[in-house]
A = this chain, B = another copy of it.
Amino acid sequence: MTTIQDVARAAGVSAMTVSNVINGHPNVRPATKERVMAAMTRLDYRVNVAARNLRKGRTGTIGLAVPEIDRPYYGRLAAAIIAAAARHGLRVAVEQTGAVRENELEALSLSRNRLYDGLILSTVGLGPADVDRLKVDHPLVILGERIFGGPVDHVAMPNVDGARAATRHLIDRGCRRIALVCGPRTGETDVSGLRRTGYTQALEEAGLPLDPDLVRTVDRLTMAAGARAARALASDDPGVDGVFCVTDTVAMGVLRGLADAGARVPDDVKVIGFDDVEESAYLVPSLSTIDPDHDLMAARAVDLLAARIDRPEQPLEREEFVSPYRVVARESTATGATGSRADRRP
């Protein structure tokens, strides 16, 4: 393994000069620079990143902790975050927490161990009771849900407003008996709780009653659970004509479950999701949804983190960014003639 010293010896200069060449510092005579470069090539020199990290007190890597990288929403988010981080010269190590509280805390402690320069934590398992655990002295950005009054930077989804818009969209399209498929309520600040609030608000605003029988809670926000919920909904037959699903993944399962039960979408039942995962545009029927602008969220999260990394002296005010959103109307909430061509990307 050739070190900077070997190169220095071979080029007849000091290690310092080699270092200066590597890091593109000025004040190196062109001739010297060339000699050093030649030596590096000849010896096939590679920097030792571990040594550089130790010296600089930086690792150049940030952590990204998500429940599961193979869920479309987190995949999309991760892709955007990795791309944004690359623009800052940062690499991204992905941790999977399985949405388990302990694992989320574990990810926090890895970051505390200076394994990462900072951490983007997409928390699902932590509740308001854990707010104290987030008072850490290293760069941390919470992503995806709003922790009210939390002492940390966070980039949040427009959960309440987006859910309200989604529900209103169903109402606008003529639905009156609108079901909600959501995850278990673990507090006021989790995704399901917030989106449920938006759903409730929209019903109230429209003067529609809130029927508890139409609120279906699934244990996990998966396609399998969504399909089960939809089949149950169809067999209980409470006269549903619209379904708001808290995530597109659940909505995909719901579409499948409704098909199993023989319900036609959108003729019998209209369905809308939340997230605008790539798949949604290509389903049959294509899925209406709320698009929270993932790329913008990812960019903000990384920018925020990078800023904290660059200026460790903590300005006390924490930043909160709530992404804008838009309603994406597709076939699953179409009125009139069905079979219209999908809203799709080119």
Where the two chains meet, the residues of A that have a C-beta atom closer than 8 Å to any C-beta of B are 46-51, 53-54, 57, 59, 61, 68-72, 75-76, 78-79, 82-83, 86, 91-96, 110, 112-115, 223-224, 227, 252-253, 255-256, 259-260, 262, 278-279, 281-284, 286, 339, 341-342, 344-346
Contact = CB atoms under 8 A, between A and B. Distances in A.
Given A50-B53, A82-B95, 4 more contacts: A61-B61, A72-B75, A82-B96, A92-B93
Contacts of A281: 223
Nearest to A115: B49
B223 A278 contact: yes
Contact of A50 (B59, B91, B92): B59
Contact of A93 (B69, B91, B96, B346): B91
Contact of A49 (B95, B113, B345): B113
- Count chain B CB atoms within 10 A of each CB in A92, A281, A282 and give the residue with the most: A282
B112 A46 contact: yes
Nearest to A47: B113
Given A50-B50, A112-B46, A92 B94 contact: yes
16 contacts: A46-B113, A48-B114, A50-B114, A70-B72, A70-B78, A72-B75, A79-B96, A82-B95, A83-B96, A91-B110, A92-B93, A94-B94, A223-B282, A224-B282, A255-B282, A256-B342
Contacts of A86: 96
Contact of A284 (B54, B256, B339): B256
Given A79-B69, A224-B346, A342-B256, A49 B114 contact: yes
A114 B46 contact: yes
Contacts of A57: 50
Given A78-B69, A279-B223, A50 B46 contact: no
Contacts of A46: 112-114
B78 A94 contact: yes
A249 to B, nearest CB: 9
A96 B256 CA distance: 32
B70 A94 contact: no
Contact of A72 (B59, B72, B284): B72
B260 A341 contact: yes
Nearest to A61: B93
Contact of A94 (B82, B227, B256, B346): B82
Contacts of A115: 49, 91
Contacts of A227: 282, 344
Contact of A345 (B48, B224, B278, B282): B224
Given A94-B92, A223-B279, A70 B79 contact: yes
The interface centre, meaning the residue of A69, A72, A278, A345 with most chain B CB atoms within 10 A of its CB, is A69
A262 B48 CA distance: 59
Given A50-B50, A59-B50, A93-B91, A75 B82 contact: no
Contacts of A278: 70, 223
A68 B79 CA distance: 7
A227 B252 CA distance: 19
Contact of A252 (B224, B282, B345): B282
A43 to B, nearest CB: 13
A280 to B, nearest CB: 10
